[in-house]
Chain A
Amino acid sequence: MWEIMSSRSTDAALLVDDQDTGPQGSVVLEARGAGKRYPGVIALDDVSISMRRGEIHALLGENGAGKSTLIGILSGITEPDSGEIIIDATPIKFSNAAQSQSVGITTIHQEQTLAPDLTVLENIFLGRELRRGSLLGRFLLDERAMRKRVEHLVEEFGLTAEDLRRPAGTLGALKQHAAQILKALAFDARVVILDEPTSGLADHERMSLFENMRRLRDRGVAILWVTHRLDELFGLADVITVLRDGRNVATVDPGTQTPDSLVRLMVGRRRSAVADNSSQARGTRWSGPEEEILRLESVSRAPLVRDVDLVVKRGEILGIAGIAGAGRTELARIILGADRADKGQISVNGKQVRIRNPRDAYNLGIAIVPEERKTQAVLGDFSLAKNISISDLSRVTRAGMIIDRSAERKLANVYVRDLEVKTSGIQQKIRNLSGGNQQKVVIARCLFTRPALMIFDEPTQGIDVAAKNEVYRLIYEFVDAGGGAIVISSELPELLRVSDRIVVMREGRVAGEVAAGPAQSEDERSDRAEVIMALAVRSSS
């Protein structure tokens, strides 16, 4: 039988363990003195890191610390200005991502990169399809061979043979991750870079992902794991590298560290510990009348939202919990008018309203900080000022039709200063900010409309600990001044921390409500967390 594929990707080489690449613990990939400058910023400054076979190497750092740049360099997307990359003791230069892949480095990004309409199998072999042996067969795909190559891996990583035939877009986030892992393994990945793999996953899904990571490790794969969640690290990471301001400040053994000590390494001497005491962060609560801002009555939109009733009052933070697919984001989209409800009533400030589109919502005083900042919130080519003013241009418009640019800049600058956005100026393009600072600009955009109700959908997704605390502060300030907030989050500790009440959604319905609030003991908190998880996952009968 004749195959067009290169010898590296024949069936015999499939199992990584079969490869003769040295024992567990030998260095596979190394970056030495890597540096990268962008206009006005040194993104990476003389960073060295080495990755070993069968090792989970965690990479920590605040937003803007240089993690993305380092990943970009290792995966061939970014060209370093200085330093070198060494594979199997040979220096190598990548000029594109394909070259990095061809030596066995696979990057699994924060955003899912599977083609949603192709099946999982097609995705796994995308661009590297196996073909039939005969002369004419070269033009035909050999689906059987492709299936055979991955089938023994399928169940191990939590997929079923049936899943291979389904379009990738119909799978949940966890299974999509598993598919990406298979994609890496089918082509002898020796290094797998996981860029915040757990964001967007519910707690029990994260556990399955960690199992998958351990399996990868057992196969001798070196894993570089970027995460913001310090609690995940212990017991899983074998070694931790911390970046700060583009430098490698420490490569440490997790056994010698605590979450607090890691935070100190990440933020330097600026902050001494995580401010994990919400009562401290929250200022004087709203003492005015607790009027209803929003009331939903049996709001439905088939099939994801069913008969939802809820109320948000002034000065209150309502958390919405639930696993992925419970209908939380869909509910937020209905409130915002991005989707229309099939039935049910929405009242704002006691008056029944129809919200036909987000414009209507903003006019009623409802604003949203959407999930997926990059695709749903950020206007990349716009300056900070233009990003902030876009939702309420009437505030800076003179004579009803002309934007007063200097007024716009001045006003936007007030928000940038209040929210402590780190930027070189109001005219900087938002694209060039770090994730946490982009998120602050999006919050500034909402505050700029002077809303009565703000919806925060996964507000701290993909941003670092310090930026998270600042986002919490902004939410508190908003409600303590008489606003109402809805916070949707997949991170239970976060919800328990910021919310006054938590509504749990399951399969589109409100499954129950749990009191939260600041003055809780640790025991009380974990009790509540258990109650919420039980409500969120209990199967309906």
Chain B
Amino acid sequence: MRIRERLANIAAVEGVVVALIFLAMIIFFSLSSPYFLGSQNLRNLFVESTFTVLLAAGTSYVLIVGGIDLSIGSVLGVSAGLTLLTMQKTNSLPLAIAVGLASGAAIGLLNGGLIAGMGINPFIVTLATLSIFAGGLNVLTTRAQLIGTPSKSFASLAQGSVFGLPSPVLITAIVVILLELVLIVTPFGRRIYAAGINDRAAHMAGVNLRRLRLQVYILSGAIAGLAGILLASKLNSVQPGLGSGYELTAIAAAVIGGVGLSGGQGSVWRSVIGALFLATLSQGMQLLSISSTWFTVVTGISIVAAIAFSRMTQRLAATVRPAASPPEPTQPEPEPSEDRTPAAAG
């Protein structure tokens, strides 16, 4: 087998390329800095990345169904604010978590209602709600002092650890695995892909697009709400502008991981790889004392590189003829009664 063919076969496995680059980057950083693989650094890396990982996981649902959700950053901020406010007022952890999740889901319901119910373009709807709820958080923070709650149990949500694992990492891991499973094995997940591949055909085949899109946006909002709860617990304070820009990082992570913006392709774990990639990049640059102002530049370059690379591997895979292709099953049956071959008569 020629090297080219082997390369093409490897590249054809979904997500392998990003994972390999990710691995190469980890090796590079660990050789460049002795601290990189230190347990404290890894711990920081994972804890810091949980918020992006969660948002990216939720946003992959939206992207696969063929939509986009720009509001998740401000949903995160508003949920964080309302969670902390509830903690301050009631000191009830379950209630605070419920408020955080419900506020996210409610904004998702609003997004989904406008998009699926009224048929407004998702980019426009979520751009508007992004603005509305970023402003809402600003109003909230001027009305209430969202600094600190003495509750230990609330703090332990994002600062504690279970079996030596930081609890936000554990929570995120469980949620991500659940999201991936739901997408892969349930009818709900199957319909999401179908709608993303060809929404008109899915509709004619009996997929209830309206309900499906509504559900996806609610889910996206609720996941952003969860990220907000964790962030509030970690910071133990909520400032105006919290969460702004997270939506773009999450979408960038999904795209770097290989989730298409046109719908129907990608998966949760690919977005997670993309998010971890960006987090590692940021951490590594800090360790190498590269100014953090360069980070967004590198993020942008990564997006372009990821797209360009996937196009190249697609082309490579298309030009190489796979050796193990199945034979055509269409063999004409010989008919003994008619022996003459149809010849050209003209």
Contacts and interface: CB of A to CB of B under 8 A. Distances in A.
A401 B265 contact: no
Contacts of A381: 193, 197, 264-265
Tell me the interface secondary structure of chain B in the complex.
Answer: loop
Interface string B171-209: 000000000000001110011011001101111111110
B346 A40 contact: no
B344 A250 contact: yes
B198 A375 contact: yes
A38 to B, nearest CB: 9
A425 B326 contact: yes
A357 B210 contact: yes
A64 to B, nearest CB: 8
B201 A269 contact: no
Given A257-B345, A424-B326, A401 B204 contact: no
Contacts of B345: 250, 252-253, 256-257
A192 B185 CA distance: 49
Contact of A359 (B206, B325, B326, B334): B206
Tell me the interface secondary structure of chain A in the complex.
Answer: mixed
A402 B190 contact: no
A459 interface: no
Interface string B306-346: 00000000000000011001111110111100100111111
Contact of B185 (A272, A359, A368, A403): A403
A403 B187 contact: yes
A403 B186 contact: yes
B338 A269 contact: yes
Give the size range of B's interface with the partner.
35 or more
A362 B334 contact: no
A397 interface: yes
B186 A390 contact: no
A270 B342 contact: no
A279 to B, nearest CB: 24
B14 to A, nearest CB: 12
B186 A39 contact: no
Contact of B206 (A64, A270, A391): A391
Contact of A378 (B193, B198, B321): B198
A78 interface: no
Contacts of B327: 40, 424
A362 B338 contact: no
Interface in A388-432: 390-394, 397, 401-403, 422-425
Nearest to B318: A39
Contact of B329 (A375, A401, A423): A423
Nearest to A428: B326
B121 to A, nearest CB: 17
A184 B145 CA distance: 71
Contact of A382 (B194, B326, B341): B194
A379 interface: yes
A397 B205 CA distance: 17
B203 A338 contact: yes
A64 B332 CA distance: 14
Contacts of A272: 335, 338
Given A251-B344, A338-B203, A39 B325 contact: yes
A37 interface: yes
A325 to B, nearest CB: 20
A393 B201 contact: no
B344 A402 contact: no
B335 A269 contact: yes
A241 to B, nearest CB: 9
Given A379-B194, A403-B185, A359 B208 contact: yes
Given A253-B346, A394-B187, A376 B204 contact: yes
Contact of A362 (B194, B206, B321, B346): B206
Interface string A347-381: 00000000001110110000110100001111111
Interface of A: 37, 39-41, 64, 239-240, 245, 249-253, 256-257, 264-265, 268-270, 272, 336, 338, 357-359, 361-362, 367-368, 370, 375-382, 386, 390-394, 397, 401-403, 422-425, 445, 449
9 contacts: A40-B322, A41-B328, A239-B346, A250-B344, A253-B346, A269-B341, A272-B338, A391-B205, A424-B326
Given A357-B210, A359-B206, 6 more contacts: A257-B345, A270-B333, A358-B203, A403-B187, A424-B325, A424-B327
